């Protein structure tokens, strides 16, 4: 039976980059016998403006029951001032499918993409395991005496042993499977003493099961400093939802911008479950419709998706071709080329067909 | 009457850098008629190990009642595994004295200090106003079912209208006084909908009182990305306690490392109140006692302290001399020189005396 892949192009530049990613998937389906079925979803700002639909239960259920992967472009549109529809979809997928490990490789594919003096691509090669189902994103909290001088507004950072442990285990399992020598926990345990005491305790407990891997602690503030000084010691970083969000945008900068940053959200303990695949970039409304968006982040995300389907060698192949595109200037302007979105996609497809 | 300045050298490299800062203050006192009295405090890890003292009420009271400034080195010592004594002192000062604006200039004093390709010192020149009395640092929360598989650990991010507004006002006041054209709010309002809806609402309300200044919003994750791509558009950034902590360590990297990063914590609405002045770096135990720590962060912090005492031209003079030190290689190894802590201090004092 073919694997069902839901495509959710979304808003802004989302449809433009997902179109190129779709062509890559179609090539794998039609010429490389990767047995997939594509199912394009009409969700996002357009749909919301049309009929107020955000993330219907039937779609959520079909994804949960039948799909192997969702490929999401990006969400967010200036015509819809509140982001509620976008959150319904994004968190509906991440939380609803219990995709607890948001895996974001921070890997520079060419020396020229690295913005740091004296550093080369080989210095930027780590993977962030971001907890993806709890933390501050639970949005538990409220406002009291709203609109008065005495207003109080609270958000709670909620961490469960189960949630923290499974994410940390996912990071160590990845490190073991990929021969990595260290895993870093990034936290703020010197300020968040309740939540991050749990993270620390759990981290060093789990680490005992992986004696061949060095378990190290780093404060999130120090990590952000080290990343602009010398990112080379980092291999695998496990962290909470919020810090993972921050550090992977910074990481995007280290790999040449968000036009190069891919991500996978998985229920990591069960590789058969559906996964969510997103370029890290947003919908970038000012760039939409101009054929300037970099399709490589979406295409690299297809690489992660193919690994999820059991074809890790195709992820490597895709990375190698993207690296060549950068080297040869067959890429969009943000990464030093002069191609449009479509032309960069054309170049990639031609290279992949060879 | 002379201004009372409490010196709190603290732990690790703290005493070494504060000694150099002290010599600068003494020079101003003895040769430049800046009427100060120095009061050195024996607090920190040594004292704690000796008699369990952390931050005695008499000292806190005398600081609050009589001092104009506290100059703190750094706290943290591997011989004291829990950081409770350090938090007692640091948060005793920040919270206890209601020093709500933690002001951290991110200014590169020499092109060579900027780690980003194609960027020069003029591209790195902004000031972060970090809220310093609430947010996640209140450490409200707890652990439930600790040690079981069902454990839950929570920290609450607590924001008050009063706390948020006064910090934002401090940022805009600074922008106005220094002819800055923009103030950015950095938040995560797309995830922390209760807390950061308040920050947003308050920010744009306050901004109305400063029509000559452009008020802009940036998500904290995007800010960290922009800072490694092009920090030049940022002039003043207002943000919460946690994000201010993270972004100023990253900012430290942009200005040549934490050996160059100074900070002031003020009750900004009342310049007569006592202020706390700290280099942003920590106690760096592995470097302690080796005469390698960079004293310039502590000396630049003296510059901020002198502005607080009413001598802003001395802050400029200090920055200029430090910049010359970097240019001429009269500095420690971390910033490209080959002097020790003491020799860098000597060079600075000689230059200041000229
Ligand atoms: C859009 C936003 C809610 C989202 C997040 O914070 O997770 C984005 O920044 C990301 O990193 O995927
Ligand atoms: C030591 C730590 C609690 C402190 C903080 O988080 O405020 C430090 O990182 C700082 O930035 O001054």
CATH 3.40.718.10 domain residues, chain A: 1-107+259-354, 125-254
- Phi, psi dihedrals of residue B166, rounded to the nearest 5°: -65, -30
B49, B80 contact by CB (below 8 A): yes
A217, A185 contact by CB (below 8 A): yes
Interface contact A83-B162, CB threshold 8 A: no
Q: What pLDDT digit, counting tens, does each position of A246-281 carry? A: 999 999 999 999 999 999 999 999 999 999 999 999
* Residue written as token pair 């209140």: B138
Which H/E stretch holds residue B159? strand B152-160
Atom of ligand 1 nearest to the CA of B221: 9
Q: What pLDDT digit, counting tens, does each position of A41-80 carry? A: 999 999 999 999 999 999 999 999 999 999 999 999 999 9
CATH 3.40.718.10 domain residues, chain B: 1-102+261-354, 125-254
Q: Which residues of A touch B139 (CB under 8 A)?
A: 191-194
* Residue written as token pair 């003895």: B30
Task: Answer whether B190 contacts ligand 1 (Cβ < 6 A).
Answer: yes
Q: Which residues of B touch A162 (CB under 8 A)?
A: 149-150
How far, in Å, CA of A317 to CA of A34, rounded?
15
Quick one: pLDDT band at residue B83, thresholds 50, 70, 90? confident
* Average pLDDT of chain A, as a whole number: 97
Q: What's the pLDDT score for residue A59?
A: 98
Quick one: pLDDT band at residue A1, thresholds 50, 70, 90? confident
Q: What pLDDT digit, counting tens, does each position of B298-345 carry? A: 999 999 999 999 999 999 999 999 999 999 999 999 999 999 999 999
Mean pLDDT of the region B52-76: 97
User: Which of A87, A192, A202, A243 to mutate to probe the B interface, most B CBs <10 Å?
Assistant: A192
Q: What pLDDT digit, counting tens, does each position of B184-231 carry? A: 999 999 999 999 999 999 999 999 999 999 999 999 999 999 999 999
Q: What's the pLDDT score for residue A332?
A: 98
Task: Answer whether B222 contacts ligand 1 (Cβ < 6 A).
Answer: no
**Whose CA is closest to A314, among A1, A9, A72, A36?**
A36
CATH homologous superfamily, domain A1-107+259-354: Isopropylmalate Dehydrogenase (3.40.718.10)
Name the 3-class secondary structure at A176. Answer: helix
Q: What's the pLDDT score for residue B224?
A: 98
Show the CA angle centred on residue A185, arms to residues A181 and A188, nearest 5°: 155
How far, in Å, CA of A305 to CA of A54, rounded?
24
Q: What's the pLDDT score for residue B1?
A: 82
Q: What's the pLDDT score for residue A81?
A: 86
Mean pLDDT of the region B24-38: 97
Q: Is the four-CA dihedral A57, A58, A62, A63 of positive or negative sign?
A: negative
How far, in Å, CA of B173 to CA of A192, rounded?
31
How far, in Å, CA of B144 to CA of B152, rounded?
5
CATH homologous superfamily, domain B125-254: Isopropylmalate Dehydrogenase (3.40.718.10)
**Whose CA is closest to B221, among B254, B243, B245, B251?**
B243
**Whose CA is closest to A229, among B292, B155, B253, B74?**
B253
How far, in Å, CA of A324 to CA of B137, rounded?
47
Give the list of residues 6+ apart from residue A204 with CB closer than 8 angstroms, or none: A215
| Torsion angle defined by CA atoms of residues B58, B63, B64 and B65, in that order, rounded to the nearest 10 degrees | 80
Mean pLDDT of the region A313-337: 98
Architecture of the structural domain at B1-102+261-354: 3-Layer(aba) Sandwich (3.40)
Give the list of residues 6+ apart from residue A286 with CB closer than 8 angstroms, or none: none
Q: What's the pLDDT score for residue B101?
A: 98
Cα(A110) to centroid of ligand 1, in Å? 26
pLDDT exceeding 90 applies to what percent of chain B?
98
Give the list of residues 6+ apart from residue B238 with CB closer than 8 angstroms, or none: B128, B129, B131, B167, B168, B170, B171, B183, B184, B185, B186, B203
Q: What's the pLDDT score for residue B308?
A: 98
Q: What pLDDT digit, counting tens, does each position of A140-196 carry? A: 999 999 999 999 999 999 999 999 999 999 999 999 999 999 999 999 999 999 999
């Amino acid at each position: 039976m073919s694997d069902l892949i839901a495509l959710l192009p979304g808003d802004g530049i989302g449809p433009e980059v997902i179109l190129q990613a779709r062509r890559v998937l179609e090539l794998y389906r039609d010429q490389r016998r990767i047995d997939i079925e594509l199912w394009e979803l009409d969700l996002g700002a357009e749909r919301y403006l049309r009929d107020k639909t955000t993330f219907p239960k039937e779609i959520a259920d079909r994804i949960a029951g039948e799909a192997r992967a969702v490929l999401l472009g990006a969400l967010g549109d200036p015509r819809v001032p509140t982001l509620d529809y976008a959150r319904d979809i994004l968190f509906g997928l991440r939380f609803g499918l219990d995709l607890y490990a948001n895996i974001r490789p921070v890997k520079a594919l060419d020396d020229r993409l690295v913005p740091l003096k004296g550093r080369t691509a080989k210095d930027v090669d780590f993977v962030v395991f971001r907890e993806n189902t709890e933390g501050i994103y639970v949005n538990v909290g409220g406002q009291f005496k709203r609109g008065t001088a005495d207003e109080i507004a609270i958000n709670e950072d909620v961490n469960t042993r189960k949630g923290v442990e499974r994410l940390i285990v996912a990071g160590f399992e990845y490190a073991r499977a990929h021969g990595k020598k260290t895993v870093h926990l990034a936290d703020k345990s010197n300020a968040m003493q309740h939540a991050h005491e749990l993270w620390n305790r759990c981290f060093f407990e789990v680490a005992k099961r992986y004696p061949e891997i060095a378990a190290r602690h780093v404060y999130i503030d120090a990590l952000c400093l080290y990343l602009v000084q010398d990112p080379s010691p980092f291999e695998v970083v496990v962290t909470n939802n919020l810090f993972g969000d921050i550090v992977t945008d910074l990481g995007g900068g280290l790999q040449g911008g968000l036009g190069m940053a891919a991500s996978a959200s998985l229920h990591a303990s069960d590789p058969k479950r559906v996964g969510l695949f997103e370029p890290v970039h947003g919908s970038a409304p000012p760039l939409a419709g101009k054929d300037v968006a970099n399709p490589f982040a979406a295409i690299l995300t297809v690489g992660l998706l193919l690994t999820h389907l059991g074809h890790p060698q195709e992820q490597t192949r895709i990375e190698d071709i993207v690296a060549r595109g950068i080297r040869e200037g067959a890429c969009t302007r943000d990464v030093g080329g002069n191609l449009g979105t479509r032309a960069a996609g054309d170049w990639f497809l031609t290279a992949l067909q060879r």
